[in-house]
């Protein structure tokens, strides 16, 4: 019987995790994370400071 008791905890727990993952994924899709799969790959490689003051 103890085997089944542990199931009663594990199954809701797994369901909770799934729902959490789904919510996180929906958030990511809605925040442009999957719109462009090619471009951003290179962008974080370099992070030099921007000299915006020289622009105009």
Partner 1 sequence: MSPQTCWHCGEPTLATIPIHVEIAGESRTLCCHGCVAAAQWIQQLGLWDYYRLRTGPARKPSTSPDDDRRTNIAWSRPDANQHVVRKAGNGHSETMLLVEGVRCSACVWLIERVLGAVPGISSVQVNAASRRARIVWDDSRITLTQILDLLSRSGYRGLPLNSQSLDDSRRRESRDALKRLLVAAFGAMQAMMFASVLYLGAIDATDTSTRQLFRWLGFLAATPVVLYSARPFFAGAWRSLQARQPGMDVPVALAIAMIYAASLFEAVRGNGHVYFDSVSMFVLFLLAGRFLEMRARHRAGDLTDALARLTPPFADRLVRDGTVERVSVHELAVGDTVLVTEGSIVPADGLLLSAACRVDEALLTGESSPQARSRGDTVIAGSTLIDGPAQLRVLRIGNDTALAGIATLVSRAHAQRPQLAQLGERAASRFVIRVLALTALTIAFWNYVDPSRAFAAALAVLVVSCPCAFALAVPAAITRAISVLARHGVLIVKPDAIQSLAAATHVVFDKTGTLTDPHLSLSDVSTTSRVTRQSALQLSLAIARASRHPTARAIVAACGDLKCDPQDSASHVIALSGFGLRATVDGREVRLGRADFALGSAEVLPTDDCVVLADDAGTLATFKFSERLRTGAREAIAGLQAQGLQVAVASGDAIAKVASIAAAVGVTTWRGRLLPADKLAWISAMRAAGARVIVVGDGVNDAPVLAGADVGIAQAGGADIAQASSDVVLVGGRLEALPLARQIAQETLTILRQNQRWTMLYNFTAVPLAAAGMVHPWLAALGMSLSSVCVLLNALRIGRRSDRNPVVHAPPVTAGNLPQGCVV
Q: Which residues contact 28 (CB under 8 A, 6 or more apart)?
A: 34
| H-helix segments, the chain | 2-30
52 binds partner 1 (CB under 8 A): yes
Interface with partner 1 (CB under 8 A), residue from 10, 13, 14, 23? 14
- Output the smallest distance, CB 25 to partner 1, in A: 5
Residues that bind partner 1 (CB under 8 A): 4, 11, 14-15, 18, 21-22, 25-26, 29-30, 32, 34-36, 38-43, 45-46, 48-52, 54-56
């Amino acid at each position: 019987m103890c085997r089944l008791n542990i199931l009663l905890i594990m199954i809701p727990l797994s369901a909770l995790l799934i729902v959490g993952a789904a919510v996180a994924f929906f958030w990511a899709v809605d925040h442009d994370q999957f719109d462009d799969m090619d471009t951003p790959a290179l962008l974080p490689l370099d992070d030099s400071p921007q000299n915006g003051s020289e622009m105009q």
